[in-house]
């Protein structure tokens, strides 16, 4: 073993005592002196093990309601002393300080207390001082000290104590120290975020403890990792692990479907909806969503906001798809969908999603609020001589939800709560419109009586002219161009209605 250290003295003070008992028994078997405080000391005594109160070591009681217990040179000296420094060893002997070779300490549940909705006083009391200081001290001196800062590491420690008879290697101690510093940095980030809820300090801090290594990134030559807890959000019923590109599409699918309350199914490719429809029944929603663009639907991500029944599953089963997401499935539907192995079937769980978005850019990070607004009929201001009908207002609302979640520049055609066609990601708005007209014709959609939504204003009147000539009868746009009047005049000339919302929905 490389630079082995025999554990002779241990300090144990933990909030969570789950699975601690086997550790105590192993330490007792090895004849290790155990120092402890408070509830942990009582717990150790209840196991019949010998334990020395920290107060007996320091000759100083726990004070201030337990706020100060271990903050003492006889504790920290024993942890921080360098075993190969003669002067450190001399001072330990001079002040009768035992070398502490093992520290098992966790932290007060600060994040859990915040999430519980507790008041400020309770939250403040869960800011750990002694524990985090002990962890940092032991981790800093990993060359001589083992630090275990999480109950998740108890099993590993127990195996080391059992198989190595209380000796640890430098690699093992460094690994424990690495995990300990991860815990302390995450803890401090959580505390800072609590105090910076008003964002008075414009700094960027993120700490996510769970991660999942992906098969690769966007392309096979790129590494990929997801940071977060996918198991909390989805229950996987079938299929392989989600890939990087799957996750990007799933994120877009979740954001889109959350705009709808009536039974709705959406099909996405490369984060854009190639089909979406809202109907009275989920099977009808699937049939009409697929009709929009059955070619692009191949290999797509499908998401529903209602339970998938067996009849709907049989219809979906007719095409190849990558991922299917729904809040529930009937047992028979699951049996049908499991017939083919190369597909991922997920149940979406109710999880609170972040309200911010961020990504790396240049030599830094950009962050923004999520686009959580969508304008309905009450926010639509008619600017033309002709008023939109009640049905057109409903269709404009539907189209506006879709256009908000489609790559700019984008144009969306919709009718009767169904996407008819869209033009996405073009460098000019008129090209997006032309693309949408071609797609609609390709799949046999009659645009007469359909509506059009645009994610941003029309710089010229050509989009309105072409849309009207294709059969569009109502148009939604945010407005804001210095040439808005030209588009309004064209709408009046073509005898179609136009509404403005005042809100742009770029998506890059």
Q: Which residues are catalytic?
A: 140, 270
CA distances from 270 to 162, 244, 253, 450 (A): 52, 12, 10, 25
Give the angle 190-79-51 at the CA atoms, nearest 5°. Answer: 95
Q: Retrieve residue 269's tokens.
A: 């490719």
The continuous run of DSSP H or E covering 498 comes out as: strand 497-500
Using DSSP's 3-state secondary structure scheme, residue 266 falls into: strand
268: DSSP letter: E
Q: Are strands 234-238 and 272-278 parallel, antiparallel or unpaired?
A: unpaired
Q: What are phi and psi for residue 37, nearest 5 degrees? A: -140, 155
Nearest to 146 by CA among 179, 99, 101: 101
Q: Retrieve residue 481's tokens.
A: 């161009």
Nearest to 210 by CA among 186, 189, 194, 235: 186
C-alpha span between 496 and 489 (Å, rounded): 10
Phi-psi region of 412 (alpha: psi -120 to 50; beta: other; left: phi over 0): beta
CA distances from 366 to 64, 150, 215, 226 (A): 44, 33, 27, 19
| 33, 98 Cβ separation under 8 angstroms | yes
C-alpha span between 442 and 227 (Å, rounded): 41
Nearest to 303 by CA among 350, 257, 247: 257
CA distances from 93 to 36, 60, 77, 138, 330 (A): 21, 19, 11, 20, 71
Radius of gyration of the chain (CA): 31
């Amino acid at each position: 073993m490389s630079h082995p250290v025999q554990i002779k003295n241990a300090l144990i003070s933990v909030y969570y005592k789950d699975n601690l008992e086997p550790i105590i028994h192993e330490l007792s078997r090895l004849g290790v002196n155990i120092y402890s405080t408070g509830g942990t000391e009582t717990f150790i005594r209840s196991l019949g093990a010998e334990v020395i109160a920290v107060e007996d070591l320091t000759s100083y009681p726990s004070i201030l309601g337990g706020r100060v217990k271990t903050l003492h040179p006889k504790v920290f000296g024993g942890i921080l002393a360098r075993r190969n420094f003669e002067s450190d060893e001399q001072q330990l002997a001079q002040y009768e300080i035992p070398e502490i070779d093992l520290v098992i300490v966790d932290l007060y549940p600060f994040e859990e207390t915040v999430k519980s909705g507790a008041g400020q006083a309770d939250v403040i009391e869960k800011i750990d001082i002694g524990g985090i200081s002990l962890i940092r001290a032991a981790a800093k001196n990993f060359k001589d000290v083992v630090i275990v800062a999480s109950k998740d590491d108890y099993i590993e420690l127990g195996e080391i104590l059992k198989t190595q008879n209380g000796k640890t290697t430098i690699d093992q101690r460094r690994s424990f120290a690495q995990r300990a510093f991860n815990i302390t940095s995450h803890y401090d980030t959580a505390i800072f975020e609590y105090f910076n809820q008003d964002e008075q300090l414009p700094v960027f801090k993120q700490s996510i403890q769970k991660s999942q290594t992906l098969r690769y990134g966007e392309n096979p030559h790129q590494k990929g990792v997801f940071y977060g807890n996918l198991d909390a959000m989805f229950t996987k019923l079938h299929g392989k692990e989600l890939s990087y590109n799957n996750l990007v599409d799933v994120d877009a699918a979740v954001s889109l479907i959350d705009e709808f309350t009536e039974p709705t199914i959406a099909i996405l490719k490369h984060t854009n909806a190639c089909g979406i429809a809202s109907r009275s029944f989920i099977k009808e929603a699937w049939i009409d969503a697929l009709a929009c663009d059955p070619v692009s639907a191949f290999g797509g991500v499908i998401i529903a906001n209602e339970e998938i029944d067996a009849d709907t599953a049989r219809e979906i089963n007719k095409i190849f798809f990558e991922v299917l997401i729904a809040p529930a499935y009937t047992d028979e539907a699951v049996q049908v969908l499991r017939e083919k192995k190369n597909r991922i079937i997920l149940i979406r769980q109710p999880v609170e999603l972040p309200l911010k978005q961020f990504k790396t850019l240049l030599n830094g990070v950009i962050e923004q609020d999520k686009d959580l607004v969508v304008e309905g009929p009450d926010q639509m201001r008619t600017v033309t001589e002709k008023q939109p009908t009640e049905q057109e207002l409903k269709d404009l609302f539907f189209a506006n939800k879709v256009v908000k979640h489609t790559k700019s520049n984008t144009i969306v055609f919709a009718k009767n709560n169904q996407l008819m066609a869209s033009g996405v990601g073009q460098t000019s708005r008129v090209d997006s419109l032309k693309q949408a007209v071609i797609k609609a014709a390709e799949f046999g959609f009659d645009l007469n009586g359909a509506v059009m939504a645009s994610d941003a204003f029309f710089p010229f009147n050509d989009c309105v002219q072409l849309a009207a000539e294709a059969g569009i009868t109502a148009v939604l746009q945010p407005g804001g161009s210095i040439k808005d009047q030209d588009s309004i005049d064209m709408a009046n000339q073509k005898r179609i209605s136009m509404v403005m919302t005042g809100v742009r929905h770029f998506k890059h």
